[in-house]
Amino acid sequence: MKSKRLAQWLQDHTEMLGALDDETDRAFHVALYEGIIDMALHGETRMADSVLESAAAHAVAVGRKLTSLMEVPQNLRGRIWQRIGEEIDPEPAFVMLTALDAIFVHISHVAIDTYLEVTKLAMAAKSVEISRLYDESEQKVMKYATEVSRANRELARLEQAKTDFISIAAHELKTPLTLIQGYVNFLRDLETNEQIKSLADGINRGSKRMNVIIEDMLDLSAMDTNQLGLVLQKVKPKTIIDVVIAQLSRAIDERQQTTEINNLDALPEIEADDNRLHQIFRQIINNAIKYTPDGGHITITGQELEAVSNKAACIQITISDTGVGIAPEDKERVFEKFYRAGDSSLHSTGQTKFMGAGPGLGLAIVKGLIEAHGGHVTVESPGFDMQNCPGSVFTVVLPIQANPQPDIEIKWITPEQTETEDDAQISETTRRNL
């Protein structure tokens, strides 16, 4: 039933609405056409169902026969079928027509079933009252269905525009930022004036922070456009987390926080992209530092999950903190791009300062990278409370044997390659994430 190509073709052929001899069927005709587009685009039948149910109910109320009611969808199907046959090559046309037939089979079933059901109800009610009620509601339903369909397509267009903007902006900013970093490094090497060198250091720190944000934007763009790639090899989760803790140790010490690591030694090696795992756990642990007050505690615990029924063996790593927590309404939204929980006026600046603000990209990337590996991430928290600090628990589940999403480009590193490339990869990972 779902066919984006059919949906696009229908959207491009609004003249298919045509002119109707009976103007009373105009609203039904237009709304049904919008519902068909929605079914082809999203596979959702609710809109078309509501249109058909309303039309069938009105037909019974005014004494219209079922055969007369079915003329509208059948005539519409005939025109669409003929035009696709004339305009589209046989092979894609066959796929589109197959989806079209599935849609109209559903339409026929819903229209007939609803008509018969409403007929039974109409026999037990006053026909005049039913006619008045359905006559008023029909036009409202048709208008609402049409508006909702168009609004959904506009939302999809805006979402695509946002994705395009992220991609274009990130790529366009990358080149001038690279030049800025190069010139700043050149200035720092040549300049002997300590005041100027201090200013250059400030510019360098700002450009590095901007570079991290741009890299995050590029990662989001790759996920949105199905261009994300993974370089898979055997990875020890404890090694990755040990590196992350070492890199964040200065921030942990400054915030007088303590960390506790449990059972990571017992976790098996998993098939994963070590750079991406580093990115995942650095972001989650960095968030735990930011949203936990000074003197707080962060606990990282590992557990192996055995295979059960249709679920493969996995590892589970939980990162819990004694921070401010997350409100119930924010628990799912924290993984949306550009979303920041809580009152933005309470946020400070800085990557690891308490309640430090950010662009709202990190957890969206975390979710995308974990799902790209075939895993999932969840968060639990009693709620948001800056006084009592109930804390949060992020749970990451990753398969032991690689199970990446089908649209992910995969490259494997063999054990032999790993032995010769380990030093270079560790160096690159450290450089990118310091």
The Cα 66–Cα 25 span in angstroms is: 14
pLDDT at 432: 43
Is the predicted pLDDT of residue 110 greater than 50, yes or no? yes
Tokens of 89: 């090559």
The predicted model gives 274-281 an average pLDDT of 94
Is the predicted pLDDT of residue 33 greater than 70, yes or no? yes
Superfamily grouping for domain 228-433: Histidine kinase-like ATPase, C-terminal domain (3.30.565.10)
Is the predicted pLDDT of residue 202 greater than 60, yes or no? yes
Segment 347-356, tens digit of pLDDT: 445 566 787 7
272-296 b/e (C-beta count within 10 Å ≥ 16 → b): bbbbbbbbbbbbbbbbbbbbbbeeb
Distant-in-sequence, close-in-space partners of 161: CB < 8 Å, separation ≥ 6: none
The Cα 150–Cα 156 span in angstroms is: 10
Is the predicted pLDDT of residue 370 greater than 50, yes or no? yes
Residue with tokens 């103007």: 23
Q: Do residues 271 and 234 touch, judged by C-beta distance below 8 A?
A: yes
Structural element, H or E, at residue 289: helix 274-290
Cα separation values, 293 from 60, 254, 283, 298, 323, Å = 66, 11, 17, 11, 6
Distant-in-sequence, close-in-space partners of 26: CB < 8 Å, separation ≥ 6: 20
Is the predicted pLDDT of residue 339 greater than 80, yes or no? no
pLDDT at 325: 94
The Cα 166–Cα 177 span in angstroms is: 16
Of the CA atoms within 13 Å of residue 304, those in its CB half-sphere come to 16
Q: Tell me the pLDDT band of 429, cut-offs 50, 70 and 90.
A: very low
Q: Do residues 145 and 34 touch, judged by C-beta distance below 8 A?
A: yes
Segment 372-397, tens digit of pLDDT: 999 999 999 999 999 999 999 999 99
Count of all residues that appear for the chain in the document: 434
Q: Do residues 369 and 281 touch, judged by C-beta distance below 8 A?
A: no
Q: In terms of C-beta density within 10 A (0-12 exposed, 13-18 middle, 19 or more buried), how is residue 23 classed?
A: exposed
Q: Tell me the pLDDT band of 226, cut-offs 50, 70 and 90.
A: confident
Higher pLDDT: 94 or 19? It is 94
Residue with tokens 């005041």: 195
Q: What is the DSSP string of 178-240?
A: HHHHHHHHHHHHH---HHHHHHHHHHHHHHHHHHHHHHHHHHHHHHHTT--EEEEEEE-HHHH
Q: What are phi and psi of 75, to 5 degrees?
A: -65, -40
pLDDT at 126: 61
Segment 111-128, tens digit of pLDDT: 999 999 888 887 766 666
Is the predicted pLDDT of residue 434 greater than 50, yes or no? no
DSSP 262: E
pLDDT at 130: 63
Segment 140-168, tens digit of pLDDT: 888 888 888 888 888 877 777 666 776 67
The predicted model gives 311-334 an average pLDDT of 92
Q: Tell me the pLDDT band of 223, cut-offs 50, 70 and 90.
A: confident
Tokens of 282: 């650095």
Query: Structural domain boundaries of the chain?
Result: 4-160, 228-433
- Assign 350 to helix, strand or coil: coil
Region of 325 please: left (phi>0), alpha (psi -120 to 50) or beta: left
> Mean pLDDT over all residues of the chain?
84
Hey, which of 159-163, 222-226, 253-257 has the most confident mean pLDDT?
253-257
Q: What is the DSSP string of 100-142?
A: HHHHHHHHHHHHHHHHHHHHHHHHTS-HHHHHHHHHHHHHHHH
pLDDT at 283: 93
Amino acid letter, residue 207: S
pLDDT at 351: 62
Angle at 143 between CA 6 and CA 155, to 5 degrees: 55
